[in-house]
Structure 1
Amino acid sequence: MSGQDKTSTVRRQLGAVLFADVVGYARLMGNDEIDTYSALKSLLEQLETACQAHDGRVVAVRGDGVLALFETATNAVKFGIELHRIAEQSNASRPEDHRLRFRAGVHMGEILIDDRGIHGDNVNIAARLQEIAEPGRVFVSSSVYEQIRNRLRFGFEFLGPQRLKNIAEPIPAYCVRSEIEGAAMAATLRPDSPPAHPQLPGIPSVAVLPFSSLGGDQSDSWFADGLTEDIILNLSKFKNLFVIARNSAFFFKARTMPPQEAARELGVRYVARGSIRRASSRIRVAIELIDAESGRTIWGERYDRDIDDIFAIQDEVTDAIVAATAVLIEAQERKRMSQAAPADLAAYGYVLRGQQYIFRYTRQDNRQAQSLYERALARDQDYARASAAISRTLNIDWRYSWAKDADHALDTALSFAQRAVELDPTDARGFGELGFVHLYRKEHDAAIGAYRRALALNPNDADLLSDYADALAHSGDNETAISSLKQAMRLNPYFPDQYLWHLGGAYYNLKEYDAVIDTLTRMNNPTEGQRMLAASYAQLGKMELARDMAARHREAHPNFSLERWAKVQPDRLAEDTQHFVEGLKKAGF
């Protein structure tokens, strides 16, 4: 009889479940048990209050974990972001090794509720998503994403189907970013685009997968990543090689798959992979080049050298891959393509560390990268790469209004880019940053010229191609812009949303509004495409859709000013700006 009573108290309910726990809690307790316990207790009290403010309730606290239930996915995700903000605020006064950082998972579905709490597979999925989340991030399932994608102005990075512990089927997951601006530049999968196994290019094609760090200290991973990136950069300079972009290659860092499968996904013939072990002033680099068609290793080498020889190793690896892929390049051409090494090896180390931060595209990470690049330049004032990198951080600050004085940031970016190209006229990065600054100073010919110089030096740089295409579209050459963007997407199969935004802009200028809509609906961050979508629907006479999109945009961007936007637009042709303004006004802006 009692068993029947227990069963009758169980009920089913649709809800959004959030699970969060503290990263490295056992270590923190080992360091200082009383301090950690007190700090967590205070944090949990704040979180319970914040949870109630988001119309949720904390169902259980399990040690360092919080289980909360919400009626809507919107409130669950908002609370997840607020949870991290509260934790960071609390951490501000604590030493770095005593800080409490959470990770969180959110899933939505039917759950079982009884007097003891909430249960069922959907609760377990939230807990498992939390386990794979990065510190300071909220990972959500696709069921949550579909509910919030058009409602919340957050960034969403699709992570693909994730195999979670004790969950039978893979769960498609997304990482939520509260700083949406940089999310548009982050490499990402497309949920509606399964790997198409692109056709092989007509020239030798290669992907360099991230090298693994075999040392006991995983903090050395920045060195392995930096070496991988520089080998990609060296190979990218050759016109008769097709080289997969760094962003897409690094997608395979957390994915374990045979090199032949990676080659199929990326659409290349050859795959290079390797490992690095550092010990004091010595370094061991092992690398192999695999022919994906046959599965054979066609070249392999191991280098045991002093760390000072790192640039010589890079050159040897580049030459070996070029030779093994049967690319006919004159020795003089190879020499011209070699990068200028810094006078101080520590300067190079600071640049590599900076690269760890800049590709995360958040305000805090961009500042951290800038600080490291400045330290590199302090060690070697003639280091062109560091000067170009500082220019890039300033351009990002300007692009996303992270700089207090926007005009000053753009002017300073210009001076660093000019200095970079003076120091090393063979480095594409300086010319790329120069192109961006000139475009937004509305110096169109100078911008196009700088981008062309950059691409002549590095024709395989997908981000450069995308930025060049944007400059072309703002200069009235939309057909070439579209062609360049399609090439960028082939070089960088896991391209960021920004490529789609640039492509949509070119189609809009050509009044191909259906193509705009088709392009922008592929964005992982739909709120960032709403403005152009609203204008396109309005131009097609689909006024109900246009007004709905405009209303969603106002909710996500309450401070948007059409007048300010029109002033900032770097269009060479006044009619292009007016054409967009006309569409926005029709939509109700």
Structure 2
Amino acid sequence: METDVESARSRLGGEMPALSVRLLGPLVISRNDVPVALPSSRKLRALFAYLALAPHPVGRSRLCELLWDVPNDPRGELRWCLSKLRGTLDAPDRHRVVTQGDTVALDLSDCLVDALEVSQAVTQGLGTLDVERLRVLAGLFAGDLLDGPEVERSPHFNSWLIAQRRRFHACHIAVLEQLVASLPADSDEAIVHLDTWVELAPFDERAHAALLASLARRGEVGAAEQHLASAERLFQSEELDFAQLRAAWRAIRNQQSGTPLRPQQACLSTISQLAAAPSDAGPVEPSHASLAVMPFVEESGGTRGGLADGFTHDIITRLSKLRDFFVIARGSVFALAEKDIAPEDAGRRLNVDYVATGTVRSPPGRLIVSVELIEVRTARIVWAETFERRPDDIFSVLDDIGNSIVSSISAEIETVERNRAMLKAPSSLNAWEAYHRGLWHMYRFTQAENEQARHFFAQALQLDPTFARAYAGLSFTHWQNAFQRWGDRDRESALAFESAGHSLLVDDHNPAAHWAMGRALWLRGEQDSSLIELERAVDLSPNFALGHYALSFVHSQSGDPQAAIGSSDHSRHLSPFDPLLFGMLGARAMAHVRLGQFEEAAEWALRAAARPNAHAIILAIAAHCLALAGRLDEARGFAAVIRKTLPSYGVDDFIGTFRFEPDAVALFRQGARRIGLR
């Protein structure tokens, strides 16, 4: 591990790491470059690997469940393994096996652990690393994680190990892809890494296209033709379409007379060009993000079927109903899973941006579902969570967990896409990216940012006039202009209604289109029609958090206040970190006012006002609710903050913003009088 030690010395400020650990291959622990003798116990090695990669301390009961199926004394065996690890890892002045209460952890902060080095680099972003660092990372892969015989009678650990091996396999591919892109196209080193990439991902079209481009650049057309023929036989054996890669080779040959491209550049340009619609086939579809949900696995024995398969089908169906992004159909992902293809490899074969995968465990009295969302190109884990429930009503529990998973996947992909769009030059954005750039500005809730959002939604629609979500976003910006009084209310209300109408014409099954129309109708004073559209939005997609929030918003003013509270709670359950969380909380506060529950209203309004992007109207809700609760000093504080930016703001502005019934108007005027907000 000489290269590893050099890397660690650089990372640790020039100091030699006390210990070096190789997990990517057969386990080796070295002290000062001298391998340390380890007991032959496979479970001890398994325990070390699990603790080394665990992000948090692990409970002893979990470790016993993980590694000892039916032992006489699982805790005794665990104590024996920990004592052996202490003898191997601890020094007189440093205890690396840390036990606190009933938990166990390893402190390897000053050690080199190859798998941790790779994980940290992927999290940091491989695109930020120089060539030397990428070479070091590529050299760390000496085999599969914890290479060696399977640990007997430990199905939970073996399921974990399979998942981790798949993750680091994907990391290896991502490192090679980035390294190849950084090397001269015709270098021997690039060819070596490309061969490894193809070996690791034999059905990845980008790997083959990059290798063909590199061979062509070196003038080795014969070798490229041989590789193409071999790859075609391989694809045909798996009944996979080879036409796109054959066309990519023709494009690469045509480029030989022009400006030479690096292997990855050629791969990206040819594959992406061939994936687009032909020039005579009409408008090009927007480059939506795409997702494959691989079948969840029952962790007991690593099998599929029954509960896990039904759960997977439900998640795919719910995500498809959101219509946020392209979701691969159930048949395709199950067909790949039947061939035991790893999720990340399946993602590459399906040419998707993200893959979701998970496990289901049913220990006595519990149901545990773990899920990961992975960005395929970089092998980065975008989101991971474990849900644990008591299965008193199994269908209700699965429904609740499914809601959380679907909403979290949607929110995390949207966040990644928004942030990626912000890093690109505005002139280079496609429709999908311009839409997400618009969302980024929209969620800032200022007049200037709202205008930026409007511009990017309009740009998205200019590029793709059939983009329903972009019309809904455009409607939202006009709605904000009317609601916040940033423009003529009647004119902006009309534009919000017009844009929502276009969204419905483009895609009547998109929940966001009905959400936009419901809000626009509320602006026009058509409450009954507004509620019909919003109910349609959540009927189309029960996981559409913004639809439930909008229902709460309308009901909180002149509908059913109890329904407003329920919809507010449900929207927050579906999207607990939503950019519109302040609105969800504020709607609940107004519903409590109408129920005469002023102290509850004040507490919910304070939570709304505490959100970092809360605007003046939310602060006004807090001021009025606190005044009604008799908390006058706090209420006057909010009133003073509002008048710093809006000196003439008064109760008529507040009442005019909403559509309260007469009894609610009287209550809010009463609160305003108490604090002089006239």
Give yes or no for TM over 0.5. no
Higher relative contact order (CA 8 A, sep 6+): 1
Structure with the higher fraction of residues in helix conformation: 2
Name the TM-score class by shorter chain: 0.3 to 0.5
Bigger strand share: 1
